[in-house]
Amino acid sequence: MVATRFAVAVHILLLLAIERTGQATSARIAASVNTNPVVIRRIAGRLARAGLIRVRRGPGGAELARPPESITLAEVWRAIHPPGTPLLSMHRPNREDPVGGRVPELLGPAFRAAEQAMLDRLSGTTLASLLEGTRLP
């Protein structure tokens, strides 16, 4: 199962884009996401390291580091799932078994192609295009 961190990260970015005040604290964001502020701070840290948001400690809150038009969902995915973190993971088959020994080489290319297709699709979607669907100011 794919974790929900990616969806939470996009939620954070949408909220920051809509509020545009720079006053969005982890508590405010957590209330919107319906989670604990600690979860928000962890994910926000990854988004900040990726250059997608700026975070001020204390009452300063967070804000987008770039315009919504320049932030793609692929960038968000990479911020939350760094390179080397596969979307589809391989189990550990018995390499001595005639079938188990072949499973990684058989499934590996399909898994990589699926992840690339997902990233290609996410690259074509910006935060701004999602904002168009919010009907909020």
DSSP for 3-64?
A: -THHHHHHHHHHHHHHH-SS-B-HHHHHHHHTS-HHHHHHHHHHHHHTTSEEEETGGGEEEE
pLDDT band for position 107 (50/70/90)? very high
Identify the helix (H) or strand (E) that includes residue 128.
helix 127-131
User: The domain containing residue 100 runs over which residues?
Assistant: 5-131
The pLDDT of residue 39 is above 70: yes
pLDDT of residue 119: 93
Q: How many domains are contained in the chain? A: 1
pLDDT greater than 90 at residue 15: yes
CATH classification of the domain holding 14: 1.10.10.10
pTM of structure? 0.85
* Residue 106 lies inside a defined structural domain of this protein: yes
The verdict on residue 137 lying in a domain is no
Per-residue pLDDT, 137: 54
Q: What is the pLDDT of residues 110-133, one digit of tens each?
A: 999 999 999 999 999 999 999 987
Amino acid at 35: T
User: What per-residue confidence (pLDDT) applies to 136?
Assistant: 60
